[in-house]
A and B are shown apart, each in its own frame.
Chain A
Amino acid sequence: MKKLLEITLGIVTSIGGFLEVGSLATSAQAGAAFGYQLIWAIVLGTICLIFLVEMSGRLAAVSKQPLAGAMRDRFGYPFFLIPLVAMSLLGVLVLASELGGLSLALQLVTGASFPWWAPLGAFAAWLLLWKGTFSIIEKGASLFGLITLVFVVAAFRLHPDWTRAAAGALPSMPRHEPMRYWFIAVSIMGASIAPYLLYFYSAGAVEDKWNETDVPVNRITATFGMSFGGALSVAVLVVAALVLVPRGIRIERFDQIALILTPIMGRSGFFLFAAALGIACFGAMLEIALSVAYLVSQGFGWKWTEDARPRDVARFSLVYTATLIGGAIIVIVGVDPLAITLMSMALTSALLPIAIVPFLILMNDPHFVGQHRNGWISNTVVCAIVGLAFVLAVVSIPLELMGS
């Protein structure tokens, strides 16, 4: 019975925490530009994420080491610097895009000008990290994040042609604008397969003192939680497809995404969208700042835990503070938030091998995971999908940059 409760909570936290500005923006863009055609990118990204999240949990439970620490143990220094620097910088970029999303949400609700909200939002996130504990943050963000289910409600209300949607789950060639198609596909995959999630998840598992008995439960929560989460992204895509395509609206600016719930839900749809966006982004900001702090602190062997007073984990606290400041600066300077979001998602895909290849090696090393090594399915699926994301990214990012 207790296990059932654990599983349910795990799944619910995964759903609530799934959507953030990256998945929202990329799914909405995909729906508006290509209808159901890009659902396969969400499916592939989600499948890969399920495997990766399950692996993070398994690593933490069996080796009692979080991912970043295990990487330094296994690969040593200076090799470890490569994922450290790449993922930290990427983290700051993605955090900036989340902060941009949060700022937009606040702007939608209050009508006040855009760059004002960034420092406030960053400060609010910082305050919660400064004062909160890991449990409160993880569960709070995820439970509030359940508001994103509004997209599922909206999708059903629109009575989509589910057979046509299902057809979109199979990869197909674009009928128009191929460069844009592949770029969005790459961004969708980068939005789903976010490395920061893995550092956060494995650190959380260690904070919660998982052990080998938690491995089967983790498998279930990862599979169902991430699947339902992926379904949320699909819901956003479907809503965008059905609302924006007939109106001929292409998403060129961030605030156009806000329109997607209004036709179905009227004025409350507008506020629901703002609330969903704001909460999802805020939760993501907390996770990303913590992930970078975990990555750096574990890599250098500093004390790290969200459950202590900041003065007891001084360097750890300094890192998440610096990450939030870095993200805030990028937004305050006035970089276009939609552009940052799409580019950081695509960059994530391009940099995935740096994060994932060492991870896969770890998961096959009996010295770390004992008998709980990866089976050939996990290895093959992850390699294939990450490889695909990487190749697509390397090809489409330069083309997109040249085209715009």
Chain B
Amino acid sequence: MEIAVVRDLLDKQLIDRDGEALGRADGVVMAYSADAPPRIMYFELGAQTLARRLPRPFQGVLAWLGHRLSPRGSSPYRLEVSRIIQLGRTIKIDIDGTRSAARETERWVRDHIIGRIPGS
């Protein structure tokens, strides 16, 4: 099956087994070696990944924001490409989203901000 990485993988919406949003493929990691075809290995998610795609002068602000808002600090989150169940308008990943680290920021906002407001 033919895939165009930029058109079909990068920036696409990732969803979990149950169809719930996981995030977007902010980055795509490929394993490169000189003597074998490169292999696409991971989707990468997170503010740090996004920050690096900005022109140099802007990287600082976004990286700082991401570091402050993300509970896990500096390392971006990676999802193995081998876990893809379905490729289409969205990419379905074989993962249980409720436990996944991809949703950490969402859980953090829920527990520290939204959850504290009555009626949520």
> What is A's interface to B at a CB cutoff of 8 Å?
63-65, 69, 72-73, 76-78, 80, 130-131, 300-304, 309-312, 314-315, 317-318, 367
Contact = CB atoms under 8 A, between A and B. Distances in A.
Nearest to A310: B120
Given A309-B120, A312-B110, 13 more contacts: A69-B13, A72-B11, A73-B89, A78-B55, A131-B119, A300-B24, A301-B14, A302-B21, A302-B106, A310-B119, A314-B106, A314-B109, A315-B109
Q: How would you classify the secondary structure of chain A's contact residues: helix, strand, loop or mixed?
A: helix
B7 A367 contact: yes
Nearest to B114: A314
A315 B89 contact: no
A311 B115 contact: yes
Nearest to B102: A301
Size class of the contact patch on chain B:
20 to 34
B12 A73 contact: yes
CB-based closest 4 A-B pairs: A301-B24, A314-B110, A314-B109, A310-B120
A65 B89 contact: yes
B49 to A, nearest CB: 9
Interface in B13-28: 13-14, 20-24, 26
Q: Which among A63, A69, A72, A367 has the highest number of chain B CB atoms within 10 Å?
A: A69
B60 to A, nearest CB: 14
Contacts of B14: 301
A318 B53 contact: no
Interface of B: 6-7, 10-14, 20-24, 26, 45, 50, 53-55, 89, 105-107, 109-110, 113-115, 117, 119-120
Contacts of A77: 11, 26, 50, 53
Nearest to A305: B21
Nearest to A299: B24
Contacts of B6: 76
Nearest to B20: A303
8 contacts: A72-B11, A77-B26, A78-B54, A78-B55, A130-B117, A310-B117, A311-B115, A318-B109
A310 B107 CA distance: 12
A69 B89 CA distance: 10
A318 B105 CA distance: 12
A304 B21 contact: yes
A312 B111 CA distance: 11
B119 A130 contact: yes
Contacts of A80: 11
Nearest to B97: A303
A301 B117 contact: no
B24 A72 contact: yes
A323 B13 CA distance: 24
A311 B110 contact: yes
Contacts of B113: 314, 318
B57 to A, nearest CB: 12
A311 B119 CA distance: 9
A332 to B, nearest CB: 20
Contacts of A65: 89
Contacts of B50: 77-78
Given A72-B24, A304-B21, A315-B105, A310 B114 contact: yes
Contacts of B110: 311-312, 314
B119 A302 contact: no
A301 B89 contact: no
A78 B53 CA distance: 7
A130 B120 CA distance: 7
Nearest to A65: B89
Contacts of B107: 314
Contacts of B105: 315
A63 B26 CA distance: 21
Contact of B13 (A73, A76, A315): A73
Contact of A76 (B10, B45, B119): B10
A65 to B, nearest CB: 6
A245 B6 CA distance: 59
B120 A301 contact: no
Contact of A303 (B10, B106, B117, B120): B106
